[in-house]
Amino acid sequence: MASRSYGKGLRALSITTVLAMTAALALTFFYAPLEAEQGFLQKIFYVHVPLAIVALCGFVLGGLFAIQHLRTRDPRWDMRSYVAIHMALIFGLATLITGAIWAKGSWGHWWVWNEPTLVSFLIVFLLYATYQPLRFAIEDPERQARYASVFAVTAGAFVPLNFIAVRMSTAFVHPRVLGSTSNLPGPMRLTFLISLAAIALLYATLCKYELTAKHTRAQVRALRRRLAGETAGTRGRSAAPSALPEGAQRPGSGQPETLAPSFGAGSAPGTVG
């Protein structure tokens, strides 16, 4: 029942994501005009910038889920926090790759260290790259979830502070797409917004797929443990009477021995995820 609730609406979300991605690609290649200076290369902007925005929002979302876990101790919030950060790391890596391609075409270098937007995003990415090693270095599940949540909250608070610091700096190479100083013409702005929505839908769909898969695996493991326990209990019950031959009597007893049913430890009803 729980796994079906995790996967509820997944098909509709997937179809919507495919349609949005198709529309975004069509607008990028056939509707948005070429930029005067960079030409066709500028079209990577419609992928690179939405990836960066969604990745940063994913890191913050992981921190919000972690706050809920610390408040409620519900492991489902910890799982959501983990998935949100894990997927944001993937989108962050895609951001760095597309940014390097764009930098090579525009500036002739794969990386420019004096560009604050690139460097600040790299710092955030490297910070979150330590999340999984820190998490899985702790064996106890409760401590692992608690420490990971504290990390997610602390790092999540750093993301907007880092963004504000970059916006207040003096050197701007990247355009302020969502600011009042944006000079994007109408077709470019529309294409960017559709691309941003498509990338956000892609992030949500992949997170939902991963959550559903993880929850289903957890249920399968719980069912296997329960089945193994019931099998062990059944074998214990069937083997116990064999220790005394049928019709045998204990010394000093005039009646045949009767044994009460003995339930193994694993035969008690289990709780599935």
Q: Is the dihedral of CA 201, 205, 206, 207 positive or negative?
A: positive
Buried residues in 95-121 as b, exposed as e (16+ CB within 10 A): bbebbbebbeeeeeeeebeebbbbebb
CA atoms within 13 A on the CB side of 176: 13
Which pLDDT does position 155 carry in this prediction? 92
Residue for token digits 């695996």? Answer: 217
Tell me the domain boundaries of the chain. Answer: 10-170+185-207
Check: CB of residue 264 under 8 Å from CB of residue 236. Answer: yes
Q: Which two tokens stand for residue 66?
A: 């972690």
Beta bridge partners of 249: 256
Which pLDDT does position 265 carry in this prediction? 35
Which pLDDT does position 182 carry in this prediction? 57
Each residue's pLDDT, cut to its tens digit, for the chain (273 residues) gives 444 556 678 889 999 999 999 999 999 998 888 877 888 888 899 999 999 999 999 999 999 999 999 999 998 999 999 999 999 999 999 999 999 998 888 888 888 887 788 888 999 999 999 998 989 898 888 899 999 999 999 999 988 888 787 777 654 445 554 544 356 788 889 999 999 999 999 999 999 999 888 888 878 888 888 887 777 767 666 655 554 455 545 444 444 443 333 323 333 333 333
Global model pTM greater than 0.85: no
Q: Is 49 exposed, middle or buried (0-12, 13-18, 19+ CB in 10 A)?
A: buried
**Among candidate residues 112, 79, 56, the one with its CA nearest the CA of residue 213:** 79
Q: Which two tokens stand for residue 272?
A: 């599935």
